[in-house]
Amino acid sequence: MRPAMGDTVVLNPGLGVGHLVPMVELAKLFLRGGLAATVIVNGPPGKATDTSAAVARAAAANPSVRFHVLPAPPDVDAGGTTPPDAAAQAPNPFVLLRRMNAPLRDYLRSVLPSVRALVLDMLCFCADAIDVAAELGVPAYVFYTGSASSLAVNLYLPRMQAEIGDASLGEIGDAPLSFPGNRPFKPTDLPELALDRHNEVYKSFLHAFQRMPESRGIVVNTFEWLETTALRAIRDGACVPDRAMPPVYCVGPMVSAAGGGEKKHECLAWLDAQPEKSVVFLCFGSMGTFPVKQLEEIAVGLERSGQRFLWVVQSPRTDGGPDLLADAPVEPDLAALLPEGFLERTGGRGFVVKSWVPQANVLRHRATGAFVTHCGWNSTLEAIVAGLPLICWPLYAEQRQNKVFVVEEMGAGVEMVGYDEEVVAAAEVEAKVRWVMESKGGAALRERAMAAKDKALQALDEGGASRTAFAEFLRDL
């Protein structure tokens, strides 16, 4: 049955695969609730990026979700001025998305009055699109794709910055910081951009979270049992003490569905032949790349560990590291990147894949026993749903905060020591993989991970907390 006029939700996932994937899962929830869903695609025109490949996969897998590509933005931003970072080495994604407000406005006007609501990605990327929604009389909600714990930090960050005045968070030493709803953590566990108050992206970041309470509601990809403390701090006003917070709806964990496809990925066939819970899976997200020296250390550590492994390897980036606007990396040359003879020597118990695997299928496969991860929130939730212990190797963004949560709050993971140094040594890779797979301590991690899995599935069951929260969200729409 076709949804009636006024029954379409438009979702704007900003930039990056980590933001697109959960937004598509949210779109599928709207479909099950009887609403139509259109996902807006932003991005640099004419570029082959990680996101463009992910959009193609998502569109093919979800024919009931409409995907609309916005036209290229004008040469100036929404305020009529030339983008201030035009000559900067690292483009500011906030500038691009601010410039996308004009085509977003045009698109929404073209489909009114069919739009029930506009769902914006975290506002940290689409903050000023809230003005577009207000201008057109469309209710605007925020979808926060990260953890509630990092949301609590980000909401409080403008106040924290104001408290330290002219100093940058990267200049105040190593004394742990106390944010509402979180365990204390070092300033260096914040995203790198937050350590320099003069960073233009950081200024945009603060502006976005100052505006978040202006939305009609905040949808978070988590579940009540997992992050009770952070959610209480957000709802009680501890994170934004001078303003009223809108309703917060916990509807997760929303993760990519594990399932089949027209063609089964070769790594799944390999996993089918492995014993139960015997394989260590290493994958670091769409932007998680390493220099050659680090790839060599990982390879040596895996070989010496004696454990079975499935490892996704990407080519080292030559454009300066993770960047939402960067071109997609080239296909890796495994023979050139890995130690000589490594693939042959480990061929009986290891499988190395170029660039991408169906991660949800791998994590939920019976043969997978542990996950070496960058601690992106999507990956963390997928591991929770699979009941797997995590070996935490954070790389960028809020991943260090997620590491603190997984290791210290959940107790379902362990830190890969040296991740914040130039290179993690092969001996550490070997030792940590062996510890998780062979020791009593690793078994205890697995028990806690399985307990979290049970709670996650309960939240998603009929009558569960997340199902109830989404039903409440639909009623509020």
- Tell me the pLDDT of the chain (477 aa) as tens digits: 444 446 999 999 877 777 888 999 999 999 999 999 999 988 654 455 567 778 888 899 899 999 998 887 765 443 434 444 443 445 677 777 778 889 999 999 999 999 999 999 875 456 678 999 999 999 999 999 999 999 999 999 999 999 999 999 999 999 999 999 999 999 999 999 999 999 998 998 898 899 999 999 999 999 999 999 999 999 999 999 989 999 999 999 999 876 655 578 999 999 999 999 999 999 999 888 999 999 999 999 999 999 999 999 999 977 555 555 555 668 899 999 999 999 999 998 999 999 899 999 999 999 999 999 999 999 999 999 999 999 999 999 999 999 999 999 999 999 999 999 999 999 999 999 999 999 999 999 999 999 999 999 999 999 999 999 999 999 998
CB 453 within 8 A of CB 363: no
Residue 373 CB neighbours (<10 A): 31
Report the length, in residues, of the chain: 477
State the pLDDT at residue 80: 38
State the pLDDT at residue 96: 76
The encoded tokens of residue 385 equal 């749903």
CB 310 within 8 A of CB 284: no
- Tell me the domain boundaries of the chain: 8-256+459-476, 266-457
Q: Report d(CA 432, CA 320) in Å as an integer.
A: 28
CB 30 within 8 A of CB 37: yes
CB 243 within 8 A of CB 164: no
CATH superfamily of 8-256+459-476: Glycogen Phosphorylase B; (3.40.50.2000)
CB 362 within 8 A of CB 368: yes
State the pLDDT at residue 57: 86
Nearest to 162, CA basis, from 126, 200, 210, 208? 210
The encoded tokens of residue 404 equal 């603190």
Nearest to 416, CA basis, from 360, 372, 356? 372
**Tokens 């506009």 identify what position?**
118
SS (H, E, C) the chain: CCCCCCCEEEEECCCCHHHHHHHHHHHHHHHHCCCEEEEEECCCCCCCCHHHHHHHHHHHHCCCCEEEECCCCCCCCCCCCCCCCCCCCCCCHHHHHHHCHHHHHHHHHHHCCCEEEEEEECCCCCCCHHHHHHHHCCCEEEEECCCHHHHHHHHHHHHHHHHHCCCCHHHCCCCCECCCCCCCECHHHCCHHHHCCCCHHHHHHHHHHHHHHHCCCEEECCCCCCCHHHHHHHHCCCCCCCCCCCCEEECCCCCCCCCCCCCCCHHHHHHHCCCCCCEEEEECCCCCCCCHHHHHHHHHHHHHHCCEEEEEECCCCCCCCCCCCCCCCCCCCHHHHCCCCHHHHCCCCEEEEECCCCHHHHHCCCCEEEEEECCCHHHHHHHHHHCCCEEECCCCCCHHHHHHHHHHHHCCEEECCCCCCCCCCHHHHHHHHHHHHHCHHHHHHHHHHHHHHHHHHHHHCCCCHHHHHHHHHHHHC
Cα separations (Å) of 377 from 15, 85, 125, 362, 446?
15, 29, 17, 17, 19
The encoded tokens of residue 473 equal 């969200």
CB 398 within 8 A of CB 191: yes
CB 111 within 8 A of CB 89: no
Measured at the alpha carbon of residue 24, what is the angle toward residues 22 and 29, in degrees to the nearest 5?
95
Residue 124 CB neighbours (<10 A): 27
Instruction: Give this prediction's pTM.
Output: 0.91
Does the domain made of 266-457 have the CATH classification 3.40.50.2000?
Answer: yes
The encoded tokens of residue 224 equal 């009540």
CB 121 within 8 A of CB 228: no
State the pLDDT at residue 100: 86
Q: Are strands 279-283 and 36-41 parallel, antiparallel or unpaired?
A: unpaired
- The residue type of 422 is E
The phi-psi region of residue 237 (left if phi > 0; otherwise alpha if psi is between -120 and 50; otherwise beta) is left
Burial of residue 200, with CB atoms counted within 10 A of its CB: 0-12 exposed, 13-18 middle, 19 or more buried:
middle
The encoded tokens of residue 360 equal 């949800």
Backbone angles phi, psi at 390, to 5 degrees: -110, 140
CB 214 within 8 A of CB 141: no
Domains 8-256+459-476 and 266-457 share a fold: yes
State the pLDDT at residue 449: 98
State the pLDDT at residue 24: 94
State the pLDDT at residue 44: 56
State the pLDDT at residue 97: 77
